[in-house]
Amino acid sequence: MAVTRRVPDLGALELLLAVVRLGSLGRAAAEMGVTQPAASARIRSMERQIGVPLLERSPRGSRPTEAGALVAEWARQVLDAARAMDAGIAALQDRRDARLRVVASLTVAEYLMPGWLVALREARPGTAVTLRTANSTAVAEQVRTGGADLGFVEGIRTPAGLSGTVVATDRLVVVVSPRHAWARRRSGVPAEELAATPLILRERGSGTREVLDRALAAFGGTAPPLLQLASTTALKAAAVSGAGPVVVSELAAADELAGGRLVAVPVPELDLGRPLRAVWPAGQRPAGPARELLALTRQSRPLSGG
């Protein structure tokens, strides 16, 4: 806007108000921490910018002209508004630094995030954390579009448009009910048989499905699923009921395997290990509580499988 060319900067307005209040350019300069010649030059520059004299100078000091008094009154309003804006910006920064929006894949959210958030609460007790769950594709999209400060995904690589770091490793396992025929196979099942068998699987877009599909690509790909379920809990319940084989995170199935409600079926030819990553927008760095949480995940580095 053209009008802004006639508006002095805040420092010049502060100097003018100091001269009006103290009645002396020299005392105003000392208060502002500048030399008197520098203060005088700044006043003259402001007068040229505005187009009218602002001060009447005499051996007894300086006092505002009629126009100067009017500009000084406007200057007070501008500086009050600037201070209010500065306070508001500081409050926004405080609120930003006191909140953290996290979106995580189901495995990370259910089995790793609780411990991390407890540690974050101890480190930053005033932080308000919002945690949402989604499959890895949806996590990446929410982080890319600014819907979350930090995301956690499962999968082979860092999603496009994001930066990331591996914070843990996990391994997928094929699990069945103890009553299932595969539970009695000491040597497990061949990868070709697993690929040809309708399984109970997560939906496409999940990290679990991505890793399995990639692992079985060399063996003809994954057969059409027997069931497709959107939660780890539902997958495990289906396996325990005897509905069919399930591929699930070893972290998620640990309790059921330890209690004998599920049996792990080896698939010797397959490497079903996968990294778990923290992700954030490319070109940025996590800050505030997000940086703190990331540091906590790196300290713990939980490992699953071998």
For 34-57, write each residue's pLDDT tens digit.
Answer: 999 998 999 999 999 999 999 998
Specify if 58 maps to a domain: yes
59-84 confidence digits (pLDDT tens): 888 899 998 899 989 988 988 888 88
86 and 122, same domain (yes or no): no
CATH code where residue 56 lies: 1.10.10.10
Number of neighbours of residue 116 by Cβ within 10 angstroms: 23
Specify if 306 maps to a domain: no
198: Cβ contacts below 8 Å, ≥ 6 apart? 223, 224, 225, 226, 244
The mean per-residue pLDDT over the stretch 96-100 comes to: 70
Domain of 38 in residue numbering reads as 2-95
53-65 confidence digits (pLDDT tens): 999 988 888 899 9
Find the DSSP H helices in 112-205: 113-123, 136-144, 191-196
Q: CA nearest 282: which of 154, 161, 142?
A: 161
157 and 60, same domain (yes or no): no
Q: pLDDT higher for 99 or 151?
A: 151
Q: Are 240 and 234 in contact (CB under 8 A)?
A: no
234-290 confidence digits (pLDDT tens): 999 999 999 999 999 998 999 999 999 999 999 999 989 999 999 999 988 898 889
Residue where a domain terminates, one of 95, 113, 133: 95
Whole-number average pLDDT of the chain: 88
Q: pLDDT higher for 201 or 305?
A: 201
89 and 104, same domain (yes or no): no
pLDDT attached to residue 95: 52
77 and 160, same domain (yes or no): no
Taking the model in full, what pTM does it have? Answer: 0.63
103: Cβ contacts below 8 Å, ≥ 6 apart? 131, 132, 133, 134, 138, 139, 142, 143, 147, 148, 150, 151, 152
149: Cβ contacts below 8 Å, ≥ 6 apart? 100, 101, 102, 280, 286, 289, 290
Alpha-carbon span 284 to 149, nearest angstrom: 11
119 and 227, same domain (yes or no): yes
pLDDT attached to residue 301: 52
74 and 176, same domain (yes or no): no
